[in-house]
């Protein structure tokens, strides 16, 4: 293994450079040379700082190569003449507003200067959701990206105290930045340093993978540092050794310490992503209904005026599709296994799934032949929506919620698969399970913005996979080549949700006709109070 780098990190210096560098000299005299000093928080103090003048003019020199973050307030912006980073004095370098610094040794350091702002463009001393998105994109688009060695931010990440040792008086549910939580969750730093709260907090290491669902990954350590020279003797300087991730043995890298905890950002990351989407919507177009355009980056939109830009052709009425051969699901077809039917409406019917994942795994199907949801006429779609509402009430009465999915790929007739899961499976748990397993199989599963629905993201005739929760949250994948036919069932059958991996394939779950008929009768009886096909 390569020789480790010896690194120092410090909190808010606030212009107290003599105290900081004096302490660094003492450490190096006692313990030997360190390779670099990383400074987070407020490096400068007042606008007229006499200590800084001596370093800026070269009268004094920093005893170690020092890297600093930018301003956190208007008063200190003037110290940073180039937002892309520059040398401020001999051995003192400003990294820049955001980016990645790769040392000659291979150490990769991601950094984000300033405090969180909701404005766009952000002030010179702040970062916005756009800054975070661009920093994430620059790294996540790198082939085989596993994470960064170090992340430097000035504010704490929101919710960093979840599942962990106490951060003292700092309430991490109210203090800190949700955007930084999202950044840390995405970049998976081995070390994350922050400051600004005048407190020292070394959090227990946390996982970057979901146990039993993902292959093990390296752990992350968050360390918040106090202000330099504070009278309370709180720790403001942190020393550690690190071998760059790129040079480590993979088995050694992913070793899990005994005190490892769950990832603290699962919930806050989703909230930050929703905030980011809302900000992008507000920035790019006036407030109106939008389509979600899959030909552009997520968040780009086009007006829903019923026509393409530059094309005033009205939409053509949909022509009902016809089956290419015998259809197992057209209700008038002799192929339909009518003993599984549990409710018949005007345009749709419900039937238990053959080889269902659970006894109350049910399908919503159009009575006439139709390929997919995007091909449905308005009146059929209206009845589909009513059946979804009825099933939501039905399953909630039994202490459950449902997950619905459609696979418009290698299927002839629309089948909306509706599977109940326990209420303690939160919508975040469900979405995370789908997204995690999709990522493992290189499936690009996107969360559809709240202002869009499936008919707006998929064009008729194009294959897709679609998930909808009973909360209305939705995930979508446009199938371009192939797609695992049992993907939806496999995710729901996984240990994180129903823990029924042996039932992931419907063919292994097929029952005899008598048993299926008995299950249908039981479902029909229980569902009767909610059945929209029956008179009230």
pLDDT digits (tens, 9 = 90+) for 380-410: 999 999 999 999 999 999 999 999 999 998 8
What per-residue confidence (pLDDT) applies to 305? 39
Residues 536 and 528: their CA atoms lie apart, in Å, by 10
- What is the phi/psi pair of residue 111, to 5°? -145, 150
Residue in 288, 274, 261 with CA at minimum distance from that of residue 205? 261
- Give yes or no for residue 187 having a pLDDT over 90: yes
- What is the phi/psi pair of residue 222, to 5°? -105, 130
Residues 396 and 486 placed together within one structural domain of the fold: yes
pLDDT tens per residue across span 35-55: 999 999 999 997 667 899 999
Note the helical H segments in 32-124. 50-56
Average pLDDT, rounded, for the chain:
86
pLDDT, mean of residues 226-251: 95
Residues 334 and 492: their CA atoms lie apart, in Å, by 31
Mapped onto helix, strand or coil, the DSSP state of residue 20 is helix
- Percent of the chain topping pLDDT 70: 87
What per-residue confidence (pLDDT) applies to 293? 37
Count of CB atoms situated within 10 Å of the CB of 491: 24
- Give yes or no for residue 297 having a pLDDT over 70: no
pLDDT, mean of residues 139-154: 94
Out of 122-136, 216-230, 249-263, 502-516, least confident range: 502-516
Write the CATH number for 379: 3.30.428.10
Q: Which domain holds residue 153?
A: 5-271
What per-residue confidence (pLDDT) applies to 281? 44
Residues 85 and 216 placed together within one structural domain of the fold: yes
Determine, yes or no, domain membership for 302.
Answer: no
DSSP per-residue codes, 284-318: HS-SS-EEE-TTS-BTBEEE-SSS-TT--PPPPPP
What angle do the packed helices 266-284 and 178-187 form, to 10 degrees?
110
Q: Which residues contact 353 (CB under 8 A, 6 or more apart)?
A: 340, 361, 362, 363, 417, 506
Side-chain half-sphere CA neighbours of 91 within 13 A: 14
* Helix or strand holding residue 392 (H, E): helix 378-397
Q: Residue 365 — very low, low, confident or very high, per pLDDT cuts 50/70/90?
A: very high
Boundary-marking domain end, from 240, 256, 271:
271
The answer to whether 125 touches 73, Cβ cutoff 8 Å, is: yes
Q: Residue 326 — very low, low, confident or very high, per pLDDT cuts 50/70/90?
A: low
pLDDT tens per residue across span 450-504: 667 787 788 788 899 999 999 888 999 999 888 999 999 999 999 989 999 888 8
What per-residue confidence (pLDDT) applies to 319? 45
Mapped onto helix, strand or coil, the DSSP state of residue 455 is helix
Residues 483 and 443: their CA atoms lie apart, in Å, by 8
- Give yes or no for residue 248 having a pLDDT over 70: yes
DSSP assignment, residue 206?
B
Residues 392 and 489 placed together within one structural domain of the fold: yes
pLDDT, mean of residues 343-359: 92
What per-residue confidence (pLDDT) applies to 322? 52
Residues 118 and 505: their CA atoms lie apart, in Å, by 47
Determine, yes or no, domain membership for 316.
Answer: no
- Percent of the chain topping pLDDT 90: 65
- Give yes or no for residue 130 having a pLDDT over 80: yes
pLDDT tens per residue across span 155-180: 999 999 998 999 999 999 988 999 99
Residues 382 and 481 placed together within one structural domain of the fold: yes
Determine, yes or no, domain membership for 91.
Answer: yes
Residues 142 and 145: their CA atoms lie apart, in Å, by 6
The answer to whether 76 touches 126, Cβ cutoff 8 Å, is: no
DSSP assignment, residue 278?
H
DSSP per-residue codes, 106-127: --EEEEE-SEE-SSSSPPTTEE
What per-residue confidence (pLDDT) applies to 227? 97
Write the CATH number for 210: 3.60.21.10
Residues 262 and 372 placed together within one structural domain of the fold: no
Boundary-marking domain end, from 271, 300, 319:
271
Residue with tokens 């939501």: 392
Boundary-marking domain end, from 239, 271, 303:
271
Residues 39 and 140 placed together within one structural domain of the fold: yes
The answer to whether 405 touches 467, Cβ cutoff 8 Å, is: yes
Residues 242 and 339: their CA atoms lie apart, in Å, by 65
Strand partners of residue 127? 116
Residues 104 and 209 placed together within one structural domain of the fold: yes
Determine, yes or no, domain membership for 382.
Answer: yes
Residues 274 and 277: their CA atoms lie apart, in Å, by 5
Out of 93-97, 239-243, 435-439, least confident range: 435-439
Count of domains forming the chain: 2
């Amino acid at each position: 293994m390569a020789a480790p780098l010896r690194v120092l990190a410090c909190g808010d210096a606030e212009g107290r450079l003599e105290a900081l560098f004096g302490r660094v000299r003492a450490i190096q005299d006692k313990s030997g040379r360190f390779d670099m000093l990383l400074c987070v928080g407020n490096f400068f103090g007042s606008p007229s700082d006499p200590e800084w003048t001596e370093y800026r003019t070269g009268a004094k020199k920093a005893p170690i190569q020092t890297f600093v973050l930018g301003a956190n307030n208007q008063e200190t912006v003037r110290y940073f003449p180039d937002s892309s980073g520059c040398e401020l004095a001999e051995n003192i370098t400003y990294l820049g507003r955001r980016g990645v610094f790769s040392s000659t040794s291979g150490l990769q350091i991601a950094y984000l200067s300033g405090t969180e702002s909701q404005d766009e463009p952000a002030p010179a001393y702040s970062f916005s959701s756009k800054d975070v998105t661009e920093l994430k994109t620059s790294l996540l688009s790198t082939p085989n990206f596993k994470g960064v060695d170090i992340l430097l931010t000035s504010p704490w990440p929101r919710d960093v105290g979840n599942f962990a040792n106490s951060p003292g008086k700092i309430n991490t549910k109210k203090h800190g930045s949700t955007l930084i939580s999202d950044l840390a969750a995405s970049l998976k730093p081995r070390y994350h340093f922050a400051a600004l709260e005048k407190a020292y907090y070394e959090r227990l290491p946390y996982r970057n993978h979901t146990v039993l669902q993902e292959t093990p990954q390296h752990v992350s350590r968050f360390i918040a540092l106090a202000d330099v020279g504070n009278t309370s003797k709180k720790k403001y300087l942190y020393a550690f050794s690190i071998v760059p991730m790129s040079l480590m043995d993979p088995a050694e890298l992913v070793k899990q310490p005994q005190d490892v905890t769950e990832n603290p950002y699962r919930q806050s990351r989703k909230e930050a992503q929703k905030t980011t989407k809302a900000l992008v919507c507000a920035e790019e177009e006036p407030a109106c209904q939008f389509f979600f355009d899959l030909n552009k980056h997520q968040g780009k939109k086009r007006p829903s005026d019923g026509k393409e830009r530059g094309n005033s052709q009205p939409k053509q009425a949909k022509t009902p599709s016809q089956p290419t051969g015998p259809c197992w699901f057209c209700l008038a077809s002799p192929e339909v296994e009518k003993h599984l039917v549990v409710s018949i409406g005007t345009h749709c019917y419900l039937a238990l799934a053959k080889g269902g994942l659970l006894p109350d795994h049910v399908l919503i199907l159009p009575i006439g032949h139709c390929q997919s949801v995007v091909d449905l006429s308005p009146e059929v779609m209206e009845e589909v929506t009513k059946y979804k509402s009825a099933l939501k009430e039905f399953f909630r009465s039994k202490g459950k919620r449902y997950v619905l999915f459609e696979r418009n790929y290698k299927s002839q007739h629309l089948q909306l698969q509706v599977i109940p899961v326990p209420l303690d499976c939160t919508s975040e748990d469900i979405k995370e399970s789908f997204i995690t397993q999709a990522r493992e199989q290189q499936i690009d599963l996107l969360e559809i913005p709240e202002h869009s629905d499936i008919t707006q993201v998929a064009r008729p005739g194009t294959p897709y996979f679609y998930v909808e929760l009973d909360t209305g949250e939705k995930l979508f994948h446009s199938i371009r080549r192939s797609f695992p036919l049992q993907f939806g069932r496999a995710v729901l059958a996984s240990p994180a949700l129903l823990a029924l991996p042996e039932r992931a394939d419907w063919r292994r779950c097929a029952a005899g006709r008598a048993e299926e008929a008995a299950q249908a009768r039981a479902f029909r009886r229980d569902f009767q109070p909610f059945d929209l096909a029956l008179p009230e």
